[in-house]
Structure 1
Amino acid sequence: MLSEEEISRLYRVRKTVMQMLSDRGYLVDDSEIEMTRSQFVQKYGEGMTREGLVILKPSRTNPSDQIFVFFPDDPKVGVKPITISTKRMADEGVRRAILVVQQGLTPFAKNCISEISSKFHVEYFLEAELLTNIKEHILVPQHQLLTPEEKKTLLQTYTVKDTQLPRILMNDPIARYYGLRRGQVVRIIRPSETAGQYITYRFVV
């Protein structure tokens, strides 16, 4: 059974996860983001477990494109929880998942995620990384992922190749938040005292 401190921690983590899924284009109701701690406890029960917090959300534009969020009970996640999670993904036809872990993954678990990457795209975040929403930090500008069509238009307009654009690493915290993948282009909008806003583009590597 989880302690009051763990419940409060998971309440904050779940809220950030819901915001993150919404920002990635998944169908999340405002009430799920604005849920109070007491509503959280009421929904999952006093005897809640991490594994009982599983989230499954469809894309707003393509209902068949879904993502799971798993909260493994093991402090340090090994291969077994990943095997269990990917079996459920296979059973339900879901290819994407996020693992929210307490202390990280074992080397074997990381290898397992790498080995199944052709079938399943599995990301992982530490609970500590999700206690607050990085996007809400005053120094983090607005990021918008370009569609393939928008990317094509951008490159044609400036007659450049995507590799000639400034870069953003896939393991950059904000790139991880949005689930950016190699080859994508993101628009970054910063406030500007003279122009109102200043727009740049980054190529994900």
Structure 2
Amino acid sequence: MRKTLNELENSLMDTLTRVYHVWKTVLDMLKDRGYVTNDLDHQTTLDEFRERVGVGADGVDRGKLTIKAVREGSADDGIIVLFAKDDKMKTEVFRSYAEEVQGQECKRAIVVYRGQLSSVIVQFVNSSEQKVKWELLLEDELIVNVTKHVLVPEHIKLTDEEKQAVLKKYQVKESQLPRLLKSDPIAKYYGFERGDVIKIIRKSETAGRYVTYRAVF
């Protein structure tokens, strides 16, 4: 059954609003990871976003959402975020992304996708031979910024020196620390890697705050 004009407009607006929130979450995520982002992008309204990306019969042009940033204080440590255009990302499309990234000054690349991924793409991303560190983030998981939930405590990745100091202080091995799975939404948001030790600061009505440590697995 064909959609009426009003139904089509409502559907496109729903998609626009959804993608807008995803895009804003990605901007927050990059900033929280220590990358330099544009303040004007963070302040973009939904109407401004619509004018920027355009909405046609096929929906939002995700090709216009690409974000590039560099880490604060390190101009050669760049990142690029690509938004998959189709509901299902084909292998050849991902290969085109890989070729595009090779020509960029970046150490990390993120693809925000929908639907399922082929085993070829997953294998490529998990390959240790890649010069660029790839991440695949599902669009559905970015509609809401998980770190802004009132119950989510502060997460801070320790430097190697801080990590060794904590292990020495508590006389434990990394494997003896409580675990934070790499697949955890918080770990994915911050881009934590296996081997990282995370300092978690929770508020306490009695102690003011208390600190725990977790190792990423």
- With the length of structure 2 as denominator, give the TM-score of the two structures: 0.87
Task: Please tell me whether the aligned partners of residues 112 and 138 of structure 2 are also in contact (alpha carbons under 8 angstroms).
Answer: yes
Task: Please tell me whether the aligned partners of residues 96 and 120 of structure 1 are also in contact (alpha carbons under 8 angstroms).
Answer: yes
SS of structure 2 residue aligned to 1:18: helix
Structure 1: which 5+ residue stretches go unaligned? none
Output aligned runs, 1:54-203, within 5 Å: 54-115=66-127, 118-203=130-215
Task: Provide the C-alpha distance between the structure 1 equivalents of 2:129 and 2:96, rounded to a whole number of angstroms.
Answer: 16
Task: Provide the C-alpha distance between the structure 1 equivalents of 2:91 and 2:106, rounded to a whole number of angstroms.
Answer: 19
Cα offset, 1:187, TM superposition: 0.5
Aligned to 2:37: 28
Q: Quick one: structure 1 residues 144 and 32, their matched pair in 2 at CA, closer, same or farther if it must change by over 3 Å?
A: same
Q: Does residue 16 of the first structure (1) align with residue 28 of the second (2)?
A: no
Task: Please tell me whether the aligned partners of residues 197 and 213 of structure 2 are also in contact (alpha carbons under 8 angstroms).
Answer: yes
**Over aligned residue pairs, what C-alpha RMSD do you find?**
1.8
Aligned to 2:50: 41
SS of structure 2 residue aligned to 1:180: coil
Moved more, 43-52 or 184-193: 43-52
Choose which of 5, 14, 23 in structure 1 pairs with 2:14.
Answer: 5
Moved more, 141-150 or 191-200: 141-150
Cα offset, 1:3, TM superposition: 2.4
Moved more, 157-166 or 140-149: 157-166
- With the length of structure 1 as denominator, give the TM-score of the two structures: 0.92
Task: Provide the C-alpha distance between the structure 2 equivalents of 1:117 and 1:104, rounded to a whole number of angstroms.
Answer: 24
Task: Provide the C-alpha distance between the structure 2 equivalents of 1:112 and 1:181, rounded to a whole number of angstroms.
Answer: 17
Cα offset, 1:46, TM superposition: 4.5
Task: Please tell me whether the aligned partners of residues 16 and 132 of structure 1 are also in contact (alpha carbons under 8 angstroms).
Answer: yes
Cα offset, 1:117, TM superposition: 5.2
Q: Quick one: structure 1 residues 33 and 17, their matched pair in 2 at CA, closer, same or farther if it must change by over 3 Å?
A: same
**Identity among equivalent pairs (%):** 39
Deviations 1:146-187 (A, max 9, x none): 111211222222232222211111111111111000111110
Task: Provide the C-alpha distance between the structure 1 equivalents of 2:127 and 2:159, rounded to a whole number of angstroms.
Answer: 28
Task: Provide the C-alpha distance between the structure 2 equivalents of 1:3 and 1:135, rounded to a whole number of angstroms.
Answer: 28
Task: Provide the C-alpha distance between the structure 2 equivalents of 1:117 and 1:80, rounded to a whole number of angstroms.
Answer: 20
Moved more, 29-38 or 52-61: 29-38
Larger radius of gyration: 2
Cα offset, 1:126, TM superposition: 1.6
Task: Provide the C-alpha distance between the structure 2 equivalents of 1:162 and 1:61, rounded to a whole number of angstroms.
Answer: 29
